[in-house]
Structure 1
Amino acid sequence: MRKKLKRLNVNLSMCKYSVIENCCKSLGFKITQSESQWHLFWTDMSVGEERCMRLRRPQKLNHFPGMQEIAHKCKLAKNLNRMQTELPGLYNFHPETFSLPVEFNAFQRAALGDGKEKKSRKTYIVKPDDGACGVGIFLTRKPSSIPRKLSCVAQRYMGKPLLIEGKKFDLRLYVLVTNMVELRAYLFSEGLARFASEAYEKISTGNMDMRYMHLTNYSVNKQHKDFETDEEANASKGSKRSLGFVRSWLRANGYDVKKIWEDIERCIVKTLLAVQPQVAHAYRTSIAGNHDSVGFSCFDLLGFDILLDEEGKPWVIEVNEMPSFDTAAPIDEAVKTAVVTETLLLV
């Protein structure tokens, strides 16, 4: 039986997820509505520098100021593209991505080559910069199909994903960042594998509109008639499964699980390093003259979306600063309770 920690006050007035409250209560924390008398403030929204400036010892916020540099799709692309230009041999884990409309001309040149064709032979997945839950995502080979004023990314579609039981999937991995001044991060060993609802077929002009085949977003696939969830906490079937299941499948099919996990760790660290200077500057600016200059007054629980290609190489697709903590399925309840509990213990 876990020993209860010192009684701490937690403000959840801007948090909608019951699992956060349940985990706080299980650790003996007190839920408070006080605007000032709290030790931990957990919010579902990003935080600005002004809120950080009001922090007192030993208060903590669950977001870093400036973390939009990694969470916004256009900014993530800008930061990783910059690093890829400087260190192409090290930053080769993010698909070719363009921030539109700023990089529309460069995107059009990359898609159309010499520009003589109206349609590219390459497929791109277009995602609104501030979009979530699969809203507004579409695949295209025609740059002209993208509204010129739309703030979005055009990301090269990964046409040869690793398939399990013939279906495409991605991994939602949870990374706790406790310091961005002197980078410190923890990758949780368990996560979620999210499957498309329909069997994968090689991308073509005729099937680009088949969202249930190409998209792995839970919010999209739960609408499919064949969407199913395993009633077991360590789900090994259905549309959302455990990372433990994926590891077992990889091992059984001849993949080097240890190497894949190490490669994932490297991708995550390099992604964080790409934005560390900007976030550390925003943090120090916010805390300047206050009680903390070394980075411990904030933390961030990030959701990394990783896609494995058919060779088992991991690719960082996007990063979520506000990952969903809904617990609709037993696998969600099990994984997210463990993630949140360990986060609270660590911070």
Structure 2
Amino acid sequence: MVQMKKKASTGSEDKLHHAAPNPSRLRKAKALADEAVKMRKIFSVKGPYPVIRAALRARGWVEQRTHGAKQHRSSVNRASLNDGKSSDDAEREEDPDELHDLMSRLVRNEMVYFCWTNRRDAISTKNLHKDQIVNYFAKAGSLVTKAGLCVNLRNLYWFDSADPDTFFPRCYRIGAQDEKHAFIEDYRWTACTSFLRWVVERDQGAKRSVQTVQGQRKQSKRQLTPLAFSQMISSALKVCQEYLQSLEHGDIDTSLEMAQVLSQKEWAEYLNSYYLCVHGGASAEISNYFVSCCKAMLQRLEAVCPQIGIDGINNIWIIKPGAKSRGRGIKCAKRLDQILQLVTSDLMLVKDSKWVVQKYIERPFLIYGTKFDVRQWFLVTDWNPLTVWFYKKCYLRFSTQPYSLDTLDRSVHLCNNSIQKNLKPSQQRHGGVPADNMWLDEQFRAFLASQGKAAQWETVVVPGMKKAVIHALQTAQDLMESRKNTFELYGADFVLGCDLHPWLIEINASPTMAPSTPVTADLCAAVQEDTLRVVLDRRVDRAANTGNFQLIYKQAAVEVPQYRGINLLVEGFNIKNPRPLPPLKPSNRSAPKCLGTAKGKGCTARRRSHRSGELKSNGAEPAPLLPEPSVPPPTKIPPLHPAKTADKQVPLCDKSHSVVLWKSQAEASHVSSESEHAPQGSAEILSHERLPLLNSQTKQSSAPPVLQINV
């Protein structure tokens, strides 16, 4: 009973404490809050970002909390390393005298000028004031989704002369019917090149990581006949030769039947034999002639195919849901029927074309026999002009299992920390790989130096990552919402090939900043602090320190024409009603071939002009044409010969129609003066079919018609 009373009294004291704070602390909080409101330094943080919150408070910003203090404490404690401390202790260390909580209450009705959030749907950019700063751009799906990146990089040739196949593994939206056919053709072609490489490596006796113990057993039991093996090599060489001709545009005059090297049945037989050789371990006798032909073809392909070095011999593809993150739903497969079956299992994703099939990098650069990828940050502060900041530091994420193509399990081939943190490291993994599965870039550079490749970090890896980031942003620039006072931090994932060439895998929005390991605890905090230096400090001082962020690209600004609201007017002049002429009368006489006062003068002039053209073409000088004397036109038109039918005559025109062919000199001069002001393309002589319509229109209105078009 005593304890309950004491607890009740403690609660009442807390309420009284919040209701009546210390006067000195209240005056201090009010002064700081008023200064922040005056300087427009009110911020809001949604999500576990204690580093951002602390850095802004150090700059004199005051937080406006949208949630209760209890929710705020829980979110902070989930994101921070408590080191065994309770939630109350962590909160007291962050705000020992509760000054920040008091200032937050004082500015709860003020406008927020800086907002950092990890949820894109938390704020609508359309309702923001122009002075408000946010940490994400709207309409970023064309960049941060796998399907969007796959589609946009195909349009790189419109923005730059670079080839996306040099830094982005070929990718297809298998839900789209046309891209599905393109993927099937690519898979078949890759099966041919992989088989040629398998023949060469088998002849050289190279140790391949894809050959399993089970495959060695099958090798002793299964053996292809020499005829079937020679047919496979011939088919593979034909397909590769056809591909080379298509690159050289040598197939333009080839019919569609000739372009189809193998039929559907032949392709099915070839793939089955390919699976037996490469995946099943079947063996066959290889002649030196076939080996030399395969080597020659591979050399020709390597000169024009930038991705042939990452293909390997297994033809493995990685299947990804286009809009998911943290490795969810990603699988690897190496048979065509398995890939199509995996994709078509979810009809909704197929309908939305969200499934992405991408060529798997079968020959990555390994560290102690273990696969890894590189997480590289970059910052975009503007889309017009495109301004890109590249972070000088990065970190590596290792797999918990040694690399092998014997199994296609995600634990071997996906290095996402969200997947590997739940797995126990394999006992077969090399001891040099860290237990927390992460390395700083300094540790990787030291490893490269031990391998005699120290210079390739600055000459191959870093320049390749910068180019890939810039090219990806160029293709998405027109699709992003370019808003001033907006920035966004992205995380790009790269896999290094066996030659240390970086290959862009994907770009992530709102990359995780959780201090999951000692590597990320220090590095993620530095990235957030340097982001505020670029976004806030550099706004005040252009020479401010930007930390490890380096400006690698700033595009020339493109001025967007402003809409002034001017209406586009199209004005014209009406044609006055001409004087009616007597109707035409049919006659049995033949109509003269040329109309004119002097007999045959018009026809003579035309013949003379035609003859002059012939003389000019023959090299002779044409005779000069004399100008025709101006003779007033007759008042009557000679009758025209009517058209004859089988039994009756049909007049050329009805009595109700009239033809304006001649005018008096006064009318001619009057009309010619008006025609100078008439719009281009108006006819001087009108056909008899148009006159009744114009006459009726001009009788109704004599004002010039005006056509108004609103733009």
Q: Does 1:264 align with 2:465?
A: yes
Q: Is the 8 A contact 2:156 2:474 kept in 1?
A: no
Aligned-residue offset at 1:238: 3.8
User: Which of structures 1 and 2 has the bigger CA Rg?
Assistant: 2
Which of 284, 287, 301 lines up with 2:489 in the alignment? 301
Tell me whether 1:67 sits opposite 2:140 in the alignment: yes
Secondary structure at the residue paired with 1:307?
strand
123-132 vs 34-43, greater mean Cα deviation: 34-43
Q: Distance in 1 between matches of 2:485 and 2:144?
A: 20
Distance 2:50 2:463 in 1: 33
C-alpha change, 1:8 and 1:253, in structure 2 (3 Å) is: farther
- Secondary structure, aligned partner of 1:25: helix
Residues 1:20 and 2:72 are matched in the alignment:
no
Is the CA contact 1:84–1:90 (under 8 Å) kept in the aligned structure 2? Answer: yes
Asked whether the equivalents of residues 19 and 325 of structure 1 are also in contact (C-alpha less than 8 Å), the reply is: no
* Equivalent residue, structure 2, for 1:41: 115
Q: 1:28 to 1:171 in 2, by over 3 A?
A: farther
Deviation per residue, 1:80-131 (Å, 9 max, x gap):
1232698675322000111130122222222234652367852111111121
Aligned to 1:133: 326
SS in 1 for 2:153: helix
Q: Give SS of 1:106's match.
A: helix
Q: Is 1:109 paired with 2:185?
A: yes
Structure 1 residues 155 and 85: CA distance shift in structure 2, 3 A: farther
TM-score (norm 1): 0.83
Structure 2: runs of 5 or more not aligned: 1-35, 66-107, 190-261, 276-313, 427-432, 536-711
Deviation string, structure 1 residues 117-161 (Cα, Å, up to 9, x no partner): 367852111111121111111001233232323322111000011
2: distance between equivalents of 1:132 and 1:153? 13
- Select the structure with the greater relative contact order (CA < 8 A; seq sep ≥ 6): 1
**Residues 278 and 109 of structure 1: CA distance in aligned 2, closer, same or farther (over 3 Å):** same
What residue is the counterpart of 1:207 in the other structure? 407
Q: RMSD of aligned C-alpha atoms? A: 2.7
**2: CA distance between counterparts of 1:196 and 1:334?**
21
**Count of residues in Structure 1 that have an aligned counterpart in Structure 2:** 318
Which aligned pairs between 1:68-107 and structure 2 lie closer than 5 A? 68-83=141-156, 89-91=162-164, 92-102=166-176, 103-107=179-183
| Alignment partner of 2:317 out of 121, 124, 146 | 124
> Contact 1:47 / 1:65 at 8 angstroms: preserved in 2?
no
1:345 aligns with 2:533: yes
Mean alpha-carbon deviation: is it higher for 259-268 or for 19-28?
19-28
2:465 aligned with 1:276, yes or no?
no
Partner amino acid, structure 1, of 2:138: P
Give the secondary-structure state (helix, strand or coil) at the position aligned to 1:268.
Answer: helix
SS in 2 for 1:154: strand
Change (3 A) 1:162 1:299: same
Deviations 1:190-230 (A, max 9, x none): 122100111112x3xx411x222111111111121128xxx
Secondary structure of the residue aligned to 1:165 is coil
Amino acid at match of 2:457: V
Change (3 A) 1:182 1:47: farther
Q: Secondary structure of 1:333's match? A: helix
CA separation of 1:198 and 1:257: change in aligned 2, threshold 3 A? same
* Residues 288-339 of structure 1 deviation map (CA, whole Å, 9 limit, x = unaligned): xxxxxxx532101000001111101011100001211111222111111100
Matched, 1:250 2:448: yes
Given that 2:365 and 2:499 are in contact with CA atoms closer than 8 Å, whether structure 1 keeps it comes out as yes
Matched, 1:314 2:502: yes
Contact 2:343 2:355 in 1 (8 A): no
The change in CA–CA distance for 1:35 and 1:302 in structure 2 (over 3 A counts) is farther
Whichever residue aligns with residue 218 of structure 1, its letter is N
Distance 2:421 2:402 in 1: 15
Seen in structure 2, the aligned counterparts of structure 1 residues 296 and 244 have a Cα distance that, compared at 3 Å, is: farther
Instruction: Please list the CA deviations of residues 11-47 of structure 1 after superposition, one character each: whole Å capped at 9, or x if unmatched.
Output: 11x3234343344334443221358611111111225
Q: Helix, strand or coil: the match of 1:190?
A: strand
Cα distance per residue 1:33-84 (max 9 Å; x no partner): 3586111111112259x82222224211111112221001100000112326
For residues 86 and 58 of structure 1, what CA distance do their matches in structure 2 show? 31
Compared with structure 1, are the counterparts of its residues 223 and 81 closer, same or farther at alpha carbon in structure 2 (3 Å cutoff)? Answer: same
1:237 to partner: Cα distance: 6.2
What pairs with 1:191-230 in structure 2 (closer than 5 Å)?
Answer: 191-201=394-404, 203=405, 206-208=406-408, 210-226=409-425
Q: Partner amino acid for 1:29? A: W
TM-score (norm 2): 0.42
Q: 1:237-280: per-residue Cα shift (whole Å, max 9, x none)? A: 6401112211222233233111121221111111111111221x
Comparing 336-345 and 107-116, the one that deviates more = 107-116
Give identity over the alignment, percent: 23
